[in-house]
Amino acid sequence: MTLISAPKIDTDLLWALALFFGMLMLVYFVTVFYFRNRISKTHHKVRQKKRELSPMISEFLFYDENGSKSEKMTYIDLKIQIREMIHYPFDRKVLTDVLMDLRKDVAGQSRKDLFRLYKDLELHKDAYKKLESWRWQVISKGILELTQMQVVEAYGHINRFINDRRPTIRKQAEMATVTLKAEGIQYFLDHTTYSISEWQQVKLIDELKSKESFHPPPFRLWLTSRNNDVVLFSLRLIKHYQQNDAIASIITLVQHKNDQIKKEAILCLKTFNAVQAVPTLKRVFANAAEEIKMYLLDALSHLAAQEDLPFLQEIVENESSFRVKNKAVGAINTISPEVVMPSKDIETQPLGPNALRAGTERETSLTEKEGTPSESISVEHPQNHPGKETTIPNSDKVTDSGHVPSSGGDREVGAPVTLSDQELSFLPWVTSAETDEGAQPVDGNKEIEEVLFTLDFLPIVTSEEKEEEPWETSQETKTTPVAIKLHAIHEMEVDHEIIHPELKTDSNAGESTPSSLNLNQMKVVYEELCGDFAPVPDEGDVFIEWAQVFSDTKRTEATENSEQDLEGPSLDFELNLGETGHFWMPKAHFYPDDIMENMMLLAQIEELGDQREIPFLKEMGQNNASPVIQGRIADIISKFTREGGSASFFKAMEFEPIDSVFHEILAKSDVECKLMLLQEMAQVGDQKEVPLLKTLVNDGNPRIKKMAQAALETVLTRLAPEPNTQVAGSTRPKDPSDGNTLFDQLASSMFQNYADNHE
Amino acid sequence: MLKNQLLLADDDELLAALLKFRFIKEGYTVHQCKDGKEVKEYLTTHEPDIIVSDIMMPYFSGIELIGHVRNDLGSKTPIIIISSAGNEENVLSAFDMGANDFISKPVSPAELMVRVARQICKT
């Protein structure tokens, strides 16, 4: 018989439960596995993409326009590649991440280039889209991205978030507004209605500090703001930027209801040494909180004078708070050192008659309160002024609290009163001529019995004959500093390489006088090197960097018939430096009037124009037979092409599809219309349609994609140049805007020449 | 003899790739290592003309690397340390261990090039 029996459980139910939990476990593990794999796959993909993008970005950042031809080709290839890549959102995201990461690690010009690249690739447009999101974290990320990548154009988009109700966005927007533009701080202080946290204020001040060439506005303008946090922040900024032109406003703010503002105002006044604030500081003391009292006393210790000592001593007497009382004592001692001496637990030794006779020290023991002898305060004569003892009979007696009681009080008539020299600071120091001989009684003043002066502290002033300054007095030596400097340069241990040994003249041609710089005696051009190599030059040589002037191609003699030599723009140098005859200074060429006019026009186009002038220039080139004009036009076209290809390459690419007449029609068409237009483009399209077709090749609709592919192939086949029309040896990259005109060939050959010259 | 063998040790792949590209462009032959262990292995068989190393790396820090180069290998190869933690302690300990130069992140590649060139010139 069993008293306790196990409950009967249906085994089927048990199996069902086991199966259920088993399935649940399986689902759980599968889910975990799936997401883990997905995350690691994405991570791997991102890493792979970053590795792919890294050299591209490096190439863009360190691209040298004067680099080799292969470098230029690589650069152009990479530009095309990266343009293809940024069509995909994933690639754009990774690219943005890479640029943001690199921004943290690089500085200087590379960082500026990074910002430029970010904008050129139009990644900031993604950040703009983020600003439109309804999710706060996305908006915040967008603002951060735009701020960190210094997209100044985003200022107007961001500052509307300054009063956003979501604090994260608001704070991000505040930071962005202050960061992006110098006037952002003013906009922020004018418009913000929310509170500004302490941490945010610190960050904003940090941001302002890091701004280069920032001219702070007068922050006193915001001391009248209705937002207390703005007032507080303005006070901090005033203090930080030492704007002491708002003392009156700050003094008023000491009476503000808000303790923090009060505190900050007191600190400002203390920083600016605003002694005129002392009466206000004393007035607000009575009703201030303990914390504020501490600040007030601290400020008073810096700003108050001797006449404010009674006020402080009254605080010592009446204040109940221990720390306020201590602070007041500290303030007294700051204003008048060692007025209050340590007295607690100090054993008083009876003074012997000898000690009294010495008369160098005296002590007036003041009892602070009756019945509390341990808290007595002693007023001590300063130790560092021995002998400055003054006894004034019939004068007011200093009471134990340091007050000078009014006449008719408990003053003992005729009793001598001793005062410290600190208390007589208002009296003028009147001494006889023999004061330096020792202590003398002051004549004519019967009340003052004895005045002792020690003048050890005075500086010894002696008349000394002024030494002659040779550089100023002697005409002959006026140029000597130059000589010394030159000599010093020669003595520097720097290795040199002779850049133009052919320019070296005979070192015996004449001794160089250090006092005068004679250019005829310049002999050798040196460039500083940090290695071994060249011997140290003679002392007489002057080092001038002429490398740029004397490049071999430019150093040609001016000839008589050079005026007729109008084959192309050239600069002849004729630097005649006397007898040496090695140098050539530039000589002018004069063009005929008609060429001159055209050249002036071209100069203006070059200065003011851009790649949009190319068609006009081409037309002008075709209509003008002069090789000078044509050469000039080719140069300008080449320049505009380069500029268009480097700085605004990506923007230029964006405009290209707009050139196509189909672009706008396609944008407003449905699928069927698009297909028809594509057929049309295949038949009549030219190079203008190529970028548009390339875009359509990536279209989401497979039919459009297929048709665009076919149209692109047709157009490209039609545009392919015939072998006999191609300029021989031309390595210029194929530009979609290239035509087959004579001018294009000319421009192409000019480009080739340019590239060869710069290789 | 041209001194252009450079060892670049940095675990930050992006920055390392960027600096490597720039060094190559300046004419250096660059060997890149991504952690302290790789650096040590490389140094057993090679002697670069200059080492540019990050201070924070897996396995061995830049400071330990300086100790290894100066004490274990007895080499006087110039070492330039790059670090994001440019505090006084790091700088002093790097110089104590025998680093020749120290540059804080963010790094100006142009500045780093000058510093490297200067160190190589000194040797």
- Tell me which residue of A540, A538, A533, A572 sits closest to A556, measured CA to CA: A572
H or E segment to which residue A118 belongs: helix A109-120
Is B14 in Cβ contact with A106 (below 8 Å)? no
Residues of chain B with Cβ-Cβ distance to A54 below 8 Å are 13-14, 17-18
Nearest to B21 among A50, A51, A62 (CB): A62
A56 touches chain B (CB under 8 A): no
Residues of chain B with Cβ-Cβ distance to A110 below 8 Å are 18, 108-110
Q: What is d(CA A65, CA A285) in angstroms, rounded to the nearest whole number? A: 70
Shortest CA distance from A49: residue in chain B: B14
Q: What is the DSSP string of A289-345?
A: -HHHHHHHHHHHHHH--GGGHHHHHHHHHH---HHHHHHHHHHHHHHSTTSEEP-TT
Residue A548's pLDDT is 40
* Per-residue pLDDT band at A336 (split at 50, 70, 90): confident
Mean pLDDT of B79-100: 85
Residues of chain B with Cβ-Cβ distance to A51 below 8 Å are 13, 17
Mean pLDDT of A379-386: 40
Side chain identity at residue A274, one-letter code: A
Residues of chain A with Cβ-Cβ distance to B121 below 8 Å are 530-531
Is A108 in Cβ contact with B14 (below 8 Å)? no
pLDDT at A499 exceeding the cut of 50: no
Nearest to B121 among A106, A111, A530 (CB): A530
| Contacts made by residues A130-134, CB under 8 angstroms, sequence distance 24+ | A131/A157, A131/A158, A131/A161
Domains of chain B (ranges plus CATH)? 5-111 (3.40.50.2300)
B105/chain A closest Cα distance in angstroms:
6
Is B108 in Cβ contact with A102 (below 8 Å)? no
Nearest to B110 among A55, A104, A109 (CB): A109
pLDDT at A8 exceeding the cut of 70: yes
B22 touches chain A (CB under 8 A): yes
Residue A722's pLDDT is 53
User: CA gyration radius for chain A?
Assistant: 44
A51 touches chain B (CB under 8 A): yes
H or E segment to which residue B13 belongs: helix B13-25
Residue B99's pLDDT is 92
* Per-residue pLDDT band at A701 (split at 50, 70, 90): confident
Q: What is d(CA A656, CA A448) in angstroms, rounded to the nearest whole number? A: 100
Nearest to A62 among B12, B13, B25 (CB): B25
Is A62 in Cβ contact with B15 (below 8 Å)? no
Probe site for chain B from A106, A109, A495 (most B CB atoms < 10 A)? A106
Interface predicted TM-score (ipTM): 0.89
pLDDT by residue (tens digit) across A278-307? 999 999 998 899 999 999 999 999 998 888
The DSSP output letter for A603 is: H
pLDDT at A575 exceeding the cut of 60: no
pLDDT by residue (tens digit) across A468-492? 444 443 344 333 333 334 344 444 4
Nearest to B107 among A50, A101, A107 (CB): A107
| Residue A612 CA to its chain's centroid (Å) | 36
Winning range, highest mean pLDDT, from A32-41, A244-253, A579-588, B33-42: A32-41
For residue A543, how many other CB atoms are within 10 A of its CB? 18
B50/chain A closest Cα distance in angstroms:
16
Q: What is d(CA A431, CA A445) in angstroms, rounded to the nearest whole number? A: 11
Structure tokens belonging to residue A749:
């050959």
Q: CB of A169 within 8 A of CB of A160?
A: no
pLDDT at A744 exceeding the cut of 70: no
Q: What is d(CA A302, CA A144) in angstroms, rounded to the nearest whole number? A: 44
A520-559 residues touching B, CB cutoff 8 A? 530-531
- Residues pairing with B5 in the sheet: B29
Mean pLDDT of A75-102: 88
Q: CB of A589 within 8 A of CB of A532?
A: no
Q: The tokens 């209509």 sit on which residue?
A: A623
Mean per-residue pLDDT over chain A, rounded: 70
Residue A755's pLDDT is 55
Residues of chain B with Cβ-Cβ distance to A61 below 8 Å are 18
Nearest to B14 among A101, A108, A109 (CB): A101
Using a 10 angstrom Cβ sphere, with 0-12 exposed, 13-18 middle and 19 or more buried, the burial of residue A75 is: buried
Residue A638's pLDDT is 80
* Per-residue pLDDT band at A390 (split at 50, 70, 90): very low
H or E segment to which residue A128 belongs: helix A124-131
Structure tokens belonging to residue A334:
């700051």
Q: The tokens 């988009």 sit on which residue?
A: A157
Nearest to B22 among A62, A98, A102 (CB): A62
pLDDT at A565 exceeding the cut of 70: no
Residue A448's pLDDT is 39
A109/chain B closest Cα distance in angstroms:
8
Residue A417's pLDDT is 42
B117 touches chain A (CB under 8 A): yes
Shortest CA distance from A58: residue in chain B: B18
How many inter-chain contacts (A to B, CB under 8 Å) are there? Answer: 61
Mean per-residue pLDDT over chain B, rounded: 89
Residues of chain B with Cβ-Cβ distance to A60 below 8 Å are none
Q: The tokens 């002694």 sit on which residue?
A: A275
